[in-house]
């Protein structure tokens, strides 16, 4: 059992006291508000707080639902499945109070989460001026969760809904917006985006404490943070900071007298239990308050900060997805990841790559669960920028997955680029079969294929010759490997392979072998 430090237990008691006190007043979590979008075609939970035993009535359109607050002041109702219609008013009435939310729409609601590439705003991407000029899209709405941490699951956050205009669009999550824009244009219904993202964060911070504690492979993460928590002393940190600050003040004064720049001011050591990297702190503060709001699904762009532990990520990412589904209690809702883009210096594909292993882990995690997928973007990254500016294609490739899997467009929209199916080795060649998702293989502008490597039993990888045999088959060989036993494609930090399909969607990186990788033994953050 993990014990909380006394300072955090005290803070928790104070928080509980505040919650009980404020529960006497009729209120709802901030995820309910004017300009919100409620999910269509499924029951919609509405919940909040009031005085204990107070009767609360929720009214929306022609529906009226009533609940009685429990002894803690909590109440909840479920609206029957809603259909798209004109903006309406959501009213919640208690004995003496009434809360009214105007301009409420019904449509599709998606959670947009991850680290900085999901947080990246429209004004920092490609063509921000053109996007803003066409940004009068009031049927796309955004609820932006602030970046906060917590040691225990929270019930609410300080946020509000806003609708898309040329003035507000620049601050929208770019990936989320282009995903939502595509859905809105294809489906013709309002789209609500719930952005909960924080740059540089790790997947374990977004995973529930119950899930992390239940998975043996993830115990090293908890152990590492337990050790850091135990080693931290607020008093020692304060004393160290005071001493460093005193020295800095002397040095700064001396520098000023000499007309020089002052040295960098010291910072007090952060309590590790409140770090945005600590296990579950972001789940507690930025995910838990959102459930059980009705959603269609979630999109996720993260992994860069976990690349050094890519093998572990196979289990960690699957656990994260399952922990969200467990918390929402809304079944196996769709969950789509963005595979890491091509990044860093272009290197020989024969070199070991933690980013290649992380991309593989993302696919393994998705394949381990129902209703999950990965969007490949290994063709639109930048060698020197971990934040590729082309977020338009990222959002649209996520939208392809959603439209095919959840909205019935499998006959008219190609889901993705080709994915690896099998490899057979015969006569000095590897015959690689792909699942092409209805769009035949094609090289980029019909150039000779690149990006394939091949190896024999000695595990010595060499660049290979490759040619497309038919719509779903590639033949790979090298005169330097007479008896190949394994083949890989785009296995590098910044791969340059050019296998696409007729819709110009890139084939996913893959390997046919299971030889130990460079991150196989890394388990501690």
pLDDT at 74 over 50: yes
Where is the domain boundary, 254, 270, 286?
A: 270
Q: What's the rounded Cα separation, in Å, for the pair 249 and 452?
A: 58
Q: What's the rounded Cα separation, in Å, for the pair 263 and 255?
A: 8
DSSP 286: I
The domain of 249 spans 233-270
Count of the separate structural domains present in the chain: 2
Q: How confident is the model at residue 5 (pLDDT cuts 50, 70, 90)?
A: very low
pLDDT at 19 over 60: no
For range 307-321, the mean pLDDT: 99
Mention every residue, 6+ apart, whose C-beta is less than 8 A from residue 7.
234, 271
Residue 184 lies in a domain: no
What percent of the chain has a predicted confidence (pLDDT) above 70?
95
pLDDT at 20 over 60: no
Residue 370 lies in a domain: no
Mention every residue, 6+ apart, whose C-beta is less than 8 A from residue 489.
420, 432, 451, 452, 453, 497, 499, 507, 509, 510, 511
For range 25-50, the mean pLDDT: 98
Structure tokens at 501: 């399909």
pLDDT tens track for 254-309? 999 999 999 999 999 999 999 999 999 999 999 999 999 999 999 999 999 999 99
Where is the domain boundary, 270, 294, 324?
A: 270
pLDDT tens track for 320-343? 999 999 999 999 999 999 999 999
For range 45-74, the mean pLDDT: 98
Residue 510, pLDDT score? 98
Residue 152 lies in a domain: no
Residue 26 lies in a domain: no
Q: How confident is the model at residue 398 (pLDDT cuts 50, 70, 90)?
A: very high
Tell me, rounded to whole angstroms, the distance of Cα 177 from its chain centroid: 14
* Plot region of 524 (φ>0 → left; ψ -120 to 50 → alpha; else → beta): beta
pLDDT tens track for 470-510? 999 999 999 999 999 999 999 999 999 999 999 999 999 99
Nearest by Cα to 320 from 379, 260, 372, 248: 372
- Confidence (pTM): 0.93
Residue 21, pLDDT score? 42
What average pLDDT does the structure give for the chain?
95
Residue 421, pLDDT score? 98
Residue 61 lies in a domain: no
Residue 107 lies in a domain: no
Residue 101, pLDDT score? 99
pLDDT tens track for 428-471? 999 999 999 999 999 998 899 999 999 999 999 999 999 999 99
HSE-up (13 A, CA, CB side) for residue 11: 11
Residue 347, pLDDT score? 78
For range 104-124, the mean pLDDT: 98
Residue 495 lies in a domain: yes
pLDDT tens track for 177-200? 999 999 999 999 999 999 999 999
Class of residue 47 by CB neighbours under 10 A (exposed 0-12, middle 13-18, buried 19+): buried
Where is the domain boundary, 270, 288, 316?
A: 270
Per DSSP, the residues of 103-135 read EEEEEEEEEEEESHHHH-BGGGSS-HHHHHHT-
Residue 483 lies in a domain: yes
Residue 24, pLDDT score? 73
Q: How confident is the model at residue 345 (pLDDT cuts 50, 70, 90)?
A: confident
Q: What's the rounded Cα separation, in Å, for the pair 193 and 175?
A: 11
**Three-state SS string across 134-174, please?**
CCCEEEEEEEECCCCCCCCCCCCCCCCEEEECCCCHHHCEH
Q: What's the rounded Cα separation, in Å, for the pair 180 and 448?
A: 36
């Amino acid at each position: 059992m993990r014990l909380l430090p006394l300072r955090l237990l005290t803070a928790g008691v104070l928080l509980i006291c505040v919650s009980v006190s404020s529960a006497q007043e009729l209120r709802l979590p901030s995820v309910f508000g004017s300009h919100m979008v409620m999910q269509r075609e499924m029951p919609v939970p509405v919940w909040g707080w009031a005085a204990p035993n107070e009767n609360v009535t929720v009214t929306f359109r022609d529906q009226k639902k009533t609940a009685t607050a429990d002894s803690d002041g909590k109440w909840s109702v479920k609206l029957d499945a809603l259909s798209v219609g004109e903006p309406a008013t959501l009213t919640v009435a208690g004995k003496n109070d009434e809360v009214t939310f105007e301009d409420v729409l019904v449509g599709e609601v998606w959670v947009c989460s991850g680290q900085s590439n999901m947080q990246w705003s429209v004004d920092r991407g490609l063509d921000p001026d053109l996007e803003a000029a066409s940004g009068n899209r009031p049927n796309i709405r955004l609820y932006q969760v602030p970046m906060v941490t917590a040691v225990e699951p929270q019930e609410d956050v300080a946020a509000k809904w806003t609708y898309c205009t040329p003035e507000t669009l620049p601050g929208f999550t770019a990936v989320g917006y282009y995903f939502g824009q595509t859905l809105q244009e294809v489906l013709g219904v309002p789209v609500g985006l719930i952005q909960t993202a924080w740059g540089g964060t790790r997947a374990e911070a977004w995973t529930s404490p119950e899930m992390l504690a239940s998975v043996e492979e993830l115990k090293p993460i908890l152990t590492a943070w337990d050790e850091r928590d135990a080693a931290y002393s607020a008093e020692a940190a304060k004393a160290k900071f005071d001493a460093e600050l005193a020295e800095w003040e002397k040095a700064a004064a001396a520098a000023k007298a000499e007309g020089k720049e002052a040295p960098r001011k010291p910072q007090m050591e952060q309590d590790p239990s409140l770090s945005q990297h600590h296990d579950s702190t972001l789940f507690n503060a930025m995910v838990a308050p959102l459930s059980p709001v009705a959603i269609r699904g979630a999109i996720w762009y993260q992994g860069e900060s976990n690349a050094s532990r890519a093998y572990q990520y196979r289990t960690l990412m699957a656990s994260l997805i399952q922990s969200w589904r467990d918390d929402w209690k809304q079944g196996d809702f769709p969950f789509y990841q963005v595979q890491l883009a091509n990044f860093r210096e272009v290197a020989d594909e024969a070199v070991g790559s933690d980013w290649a292993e992380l991309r593989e882990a993302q696919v393994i995690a998705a394949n381990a669960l129902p209703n999950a997928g990965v969007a490949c973007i290994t063709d639109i990254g930048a060698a020197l920028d971990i934040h590729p500016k082309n977020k338009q294609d990222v959002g649209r490739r996520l939208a392809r997955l959603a439209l095919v899997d959840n909205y019935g467009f499998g006959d008219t929209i190609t889901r993705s680029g080709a994915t690896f199916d099998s490899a057979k080795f015969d006569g000095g060649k590897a015959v690689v079969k792909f699942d092409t998702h209805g769009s035949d293989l094609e090289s980029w502008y019909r150039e000779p294929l690149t990006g394939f490597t091949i190896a024999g039993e000695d595990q010595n990888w060499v660049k290979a010759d490759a040619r497309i045999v038919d719509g779903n088959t590639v033949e790979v060989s090298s005169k330097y490997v007479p008896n190949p036993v394994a083949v890989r494609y785009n296995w590098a930090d910044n791969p340059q392979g050019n296998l696409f399909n007729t819709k110009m969607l890139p084939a996913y990186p893959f390997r046919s072998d299971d030889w130990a990788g460079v991150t196989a033994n890394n388990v501690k953050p």
